C-alpha cells in the first residue's frame, strides 16, 4: 500500500477502471493504492435515507462510495494493537494509516445499519429492517466484506405511555425498533488478513420518538448486577460509589416486551452461541455505533465482559457518542480490560452531553471543552455527585474538527454530528 498527499481537490470517486490489482480512491487529497480491487458500489435503486440525525447532507459525495479500506494490509500479529491492547499509544497523533482504515471499515458497518433502517413513518413496517440478513450488507452498499450477518438486533423503550398514544403516528408510538446487527467474518482470506476471526456488532443512532425521549432521561441510575466493590484511583482516594449509567440508555438496552426480547437478551444469546462455535479460535468482538448507538455499544461491551468471564478481546469504536456513565462505571470498564476508542468531532455538541464532568483527570478531554469543578471541599463534591448528573469520559479519544475541513459544505449542529461527517474527517485527518 502506498499513500501520497496531493494538492487540495474536491472529493471524487474515479469512474474509470485501472489495471487489475490496482485501485485508487481520492477523497480530500488522500490517495491509496491497494493490492486488490476495492468494491464499495451502491445499490442505486434504494431510496435516500432520511432520519433526524441526517437532517442535512454535509458532503457533496457519498462516503460509502469513496471510503478506502485497509483490506490489502495484513494486520497479522499486530491486530490487538489496532484494537487497543496498548490503548492506541503512538497510533492516534498522527493517525496511523492502518488504524485509519480499520476505523473507516467499522464506520461503514454503522452506515449500513442506517441505510437498512426503514425511516418511512407512513409505512406499516416503520422501524423494521429493510433487508434480510443474507443481502443486507450488499444492498446497503458494502460488497465482499467477508462478513455474514448472524442476528438482527432490536431496542425497546421502557417508557410507559398512555393507551391513547397507540392512535398516534408510528414515529411516536413505536416502542421497539430494529437498531443493528451482528456479523461474523467468514472469509478465510479476510480472517488471515485480520489475524483473527472478527465479530462485529453495529448499532445505528436515534430514529424513533421514544428513542429521543429516552435520550433526555439523563440522570444516572445503577447498573444491575454490577461489581460494587470500592475502586481505588492513582491518587489513593477510594471511590465507594456504584457504577451508574444514563437512565435512558440503560432502558433501551434492558427493556423488552412479551413479543420482543431486550437488546441485552439478544446480544447475550448471540454472543453465547458464537463463543461456543468459535471460542477455540483467535477471536475479537468489535462493537461500533454512532450517537445513541455509540452509547449502547459501550453498555453492550460492559455487559459482555460482565456476563462472559472468558470473553475474548472486546473493543468499542464509537462515533459521536454522548457520555454514558459515572467514574465508577469507567473504572469497571478499565478493570474488565474493555477497550474504548471514541472518535469525537470537537464541534459536535452531542459529545459534550449529558451531565457534566467533575473529575479533573477524565480521559483525554481538554478542560476547555467541559465543565470541570476543581478544588472543592470533599463534602461539596459529594453533594454534587449525589445529584446523579456527574459523568466521566471513557477510553481514548481521537479528536477531529469539522471546521478545519474545507470540503464540508455546511457547518452546523446537525452536520457536525452526522456520521458521514465523521467518516469524512477520519479519511481527511
Q: What are the chain's domains?
A: 72-226+241-357+376-428 (3.40.50.1820)
Q: What is the mean pLDDT of residues 267-291?
A: 97
Which residue in 417, 418, 424, 429 is the catalytic one? Answer: 417
Residue 417 annotated to the active site: yes
Give the separation between CA 8 and CA 30, rounded to whole angstroms: 9
For the whole model, what pTM was predicted?
A: 0.80
Residue 54 annotated to the active site: no
Does residue 77 surpass a pLDDT of 60?
yes
List C-alpha distances in Å: 412 to 362, 421, 429: 27, 11, 19
Whether residue 48 contacts residue 114, with contact meaning beta carbons closer than 8 Å, is answered with no
Residue 235 annotated to the active site: no
> How much is the pLDDT for 5?
38
Which residue in 347, 348, 362, 418 is the catalytic one? Answer: 348
Does residue 355 surpass a pLDDT of 50?
yes
> How much is the pLDDT for 164?
64
Does residue 363 surpass a pLDDT of 60?
no
Q: What is the mean pLDDT of residues 267-293?
A: 97
> Cα 164 to chain center, whole Å?
35
Question: Which residues does residue 375 pair with via DSSP β-bridges, in sequence order?
Answer: none
Query: All 3 cell numbers of residue 401?
Result: 474538527
Which residue in 241, 291, 402, 429 is the catalytic one? Answer: 291
Does residue 275 surpass a pLDDT of 80?
yes
Phi, psi values for residue 205, rounded to 5°:
-95, -170
Q: What is the mean pLDDT of residues 410-419?
A: 89
Q: What is the mean pLDDT of residues 335-361?
A: 87
Sorting pLDDT into bands at 50, 70 and 90, what band is 52? very low
Give the separation between CA 265 and CA 371, rounded to whole angstroms: 36
Q: What is the mean pLDDT of residues 180-208?
A: 97
Q: What is the mean pLDDT of residues 289-305?
A: 98
Q: What is the mean pLDDT of residues 241-266?
A: 96
Sorting pLDDT into bands at 50, 70 and 90, what band is 7? very low
DSSP state of 178: E
Amino acid at each position: 500500500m502506498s499513500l501520497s498527499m496531493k494538492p487540495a481537490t474536491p472529493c471524487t470517486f474515479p469512474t474509470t477502471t485501472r489495471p487489475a490489482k490496482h485501485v485508487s480512491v481520492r477523497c480530500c487529497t488522500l490517495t491509496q493504492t491497494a493490492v486488490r480491487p476495492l468494491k464499495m458500489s451502491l445499490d442505486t435503486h434504494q431510496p435516500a435515507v432520511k432520519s433526524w440525525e441526517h437532517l442535512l447532507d454535509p458532503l457533496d459525495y457519498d462516503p460509502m462510495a469513496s471510503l478506502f479500506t485497509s483490506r490489502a494490509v495484513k494486520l497479522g500479529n499486530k491486530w490487538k494493537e489496532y484494537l487497543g491492547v496498548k490503548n492506541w499509544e503512538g497510533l492516534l497523533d498522527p493517525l496511523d494509516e492502518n488504524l485509519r482504515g480499520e476505523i473507516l471499515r467499522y464506520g461503514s458497518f454503522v452506515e449500513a445499519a442506517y441505510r437498512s433502517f426503514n425511516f418511512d413513518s407512513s409505512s406499516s413496517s416503520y422501524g423494521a429492517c429493510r433487508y434480510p440478513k443474507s443481502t443486507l450488507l450488499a444492498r446497503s452498499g458494502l460488497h465482499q466484506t467477508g462478513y455474514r450477518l448472524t442476528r438482527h438486533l432490536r431496542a425497546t423503550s421502557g417508557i410507559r405511555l398512555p393507551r391513547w398514544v397507540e392512535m398516534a403516528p408510528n414515529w411516536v408510538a413505536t416502542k421497539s425498533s430494529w437498531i443493528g446487527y451482528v456479523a461474523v467474518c467468514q472469509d478465510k482470506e479476510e480472517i488471515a488478513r485480520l489475524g483473527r476471526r472478527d465479530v462485529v456488532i453495529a448499532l445505528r443512532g436515534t430514529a424513533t420518538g421514544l428513542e429521543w425521549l429516552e435520550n433526555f432521561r439523563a440522570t444516572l441510575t445503577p447498573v444491575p448486577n454490577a461489581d460494587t466493590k470500592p475502586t481505588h484511583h492513582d491518587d489513593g482516594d477510594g471511590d465507594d460509589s456504584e457504577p451508574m449509567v444514563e437512565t435512558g440508555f440503560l432502558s433501551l438496552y434492558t427493556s423488552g416486551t412479551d413479543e420482543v426480547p431486550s437488546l441485552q437478551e439478544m446480544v447475550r444469546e448471540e454472543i453465547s452461541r458464537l463463543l461456543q462455535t468459535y471460542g477455540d479460535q483467535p477471536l475479537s468482538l468489535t462493537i461500533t455505533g454512532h450517537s445513541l448507538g455509540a452509547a449502547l455499544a459501550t453498555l453492550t461491551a460492559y455487559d459482555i465482559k460482565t456476563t462472559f468471564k472468558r470473553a475474548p478481546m472486546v473493543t468499542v469504536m464509537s462515533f459521536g457518542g454522548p457520555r454514558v456513565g459515572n467514574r465508577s462505571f469507567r473504572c469497571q470498564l478499565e478493570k474488565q480490560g474493555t477497550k474504548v476508542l471514541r472518535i469525537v468531532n470537537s464541534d459536535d455538541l452531542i459529545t459534550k452531553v449529558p451531565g457534566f464532568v467533575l473529575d479533573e483527570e477524565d480521559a483525554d478531554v481538554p478542560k476547555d471543552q467541559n465543565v470541570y469543578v476543581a478544588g472543592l471541599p470533599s463534602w461539596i463534591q459529594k453533594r454534587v455527585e449525589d445529584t446523579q448528573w456527574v459523568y466521566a469520559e471513557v477510553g481514548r479519544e481521537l479528536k477531529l474538527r469539522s471546521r478545519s475541513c474545507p470540503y464540508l459544505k455546511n457547518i452546523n449542529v446537525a452536520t457536525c454530528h452526522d456520521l458521514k461527517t465523521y467518516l469524512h474527517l477520519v479519511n481527511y485527518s
